[in-house]
A and B are shown apart, each in its own frame.
Chain A
């Protein structure tokens, strides 16, 4: 009976799951199919998925094994199947650190990134940048600059994000792409704007004057992307913290104005920023605290958590300012999320008077 039960359990688990009990050697053996003249896209995609799955489970490939698979994989560029091609890009990214001579695919990827098929271009840029080194970057620089200002948001984002990754190996080259990034900041696309701002800031962050100018310009033009606004708030905070004089009113006013943004993500970011600024006076805290107070009764646990955690931090330096929220915090003591309840209790201990302890 027990064996029957186990069989049934195994059947339930393994039935239709092609990834149960696969072995590295067997999959590597299967990968030889890649070298055949006629490519069966479905089958090859399946095998590639198995390889990626194995690697993701923590299986290690030796450099010879990896190189062998890598080279077999390059044969798959002959196929026109979109999913297969995209899986090949993933394989390239995954194996680029282990296999030797990975630059062999440079020309194939360059062709894909400049080709007509939009579904390939963005992904090809990211794969290409994962195998490119500082010297090779010069060869593709022209294409990268074009890609950053491309009309297709996915392509533009891919190029911007890849540039940011590559500043680690070739800062001097990426530095020259400022104009393109500047253009991308004006994009209508939420993500492109965010990525462009991230790249611009990273390139300029050692030049204080340039950052000040950048922030001054962007705070005036009201960014569309909530992600970009969050990032801008953080940059503004950094400038405020570095300044020796009193709070620069225009920067602080910008952060305060974000408390009224329509996205919760931004209002929370602004409130968090204001309460954590070193020079915030207790008077300036008030609007930020009321935003957090509102979040305390939100139906979303993440929002309640964020609010009570920030209030907990304020309670250390300005316990008086938090007392206004005591009632809301008391309601959170019985919250179903234990982290929220704990945070509420510790905050109350810092702010609460005897009367609330009794309850």
Chain B
């Protein structure tokens, strides 16, 4: 047939991006110097991508010869890009891992403010998921165990009543919003 076979290589991911609800970059990584040589190309691509995806919640789109899978929540958009010959389900597994790890890191509070407050951990998680285009790990629980190292959580028994109420309120709020 016409050479649509997938190349046997570990380099699968061309880029990962997290954008806010204005299409501005929160954090993005591009691994293919040929497709995105400079920051300008990356920006244009992101603008394009955002315009095409922010209203239609369609999960997958072809853009500029790349397959992009995406997902959004409250005011955030998560994207994973791969070549158009790539197995879409592999890209999807990376996206799910990215989303699930961040969701666990932020304790289900997946919104811009929370990401910004824990940006260091989010960056670390992205680094653990993909290394220069190679999927390093796609299991969110193992990612989280390697990066969410903050130990300043007080065990339930030692929390004051006010703290418990506060966290209960938060959880209720988020379960209602969903």
Contacts and interface: CB of A to CB of B under 8 A. Distances in A.
Interface residues of B, number: 53
Given A195-B134, A313-B1, A235 B8 contact: yes
A90 B90 contact: no
Given A19-B116, A58-B39, A338-B56, A238 B8 contact: yes
A337 interface: yes
Given A56-B25, A265-B93, A337-B59, A157 B137 contact: yes
Given A17-B113, A56-B28, A154-B146, A195 B56 contact: no
Contacts of A158: 131, 136
Nearest to B122: A49
B149 A265 contact: no
A198 B9 contact: yes
A143 interface: no
Interface in A189-216: 190-191, 194-195, 198-199, 201-202, 205
B77 to A, nearest CB: 16
A126 B128 CA distance: 10
Q: Interface range on chain A: under 10, 10 to 19, 20 to 34, or 35 or more?
A: 35 or more
B158 interface: no
Contact of B8 (A87, A231, A276, A317): A231
A17 B139 CA distance: 29
Enumerate the 5 nearest inter-chain pairs by beta-carbon distance, A residue then B residue, closest first: A58-B39, A198-B10, A234-B8, A337-B58, A301-B59
Given A164-B134, A198-B9, 10 more contacts: A164-B10, A190-B139, A202-B9, A227-B138, A265-B93, A277-B5, A278-B1, A300-B59, A302-B69, A313-B4
Interface of A: 15-19, 45-46, 48-49, 52-53, 56-58, 82-83, 86-87, 90, 119, 122-123, 126, 154, 157-158, 161-162, 164-165, 190-191, 194-195, 198-199, 201-202, 205, 227, 230-231, 234-235, 237-238, 241, 264-265, 268-269, 272-273, 275-278, 280, 300-303, 305-306, 313, 316-317, 336-339
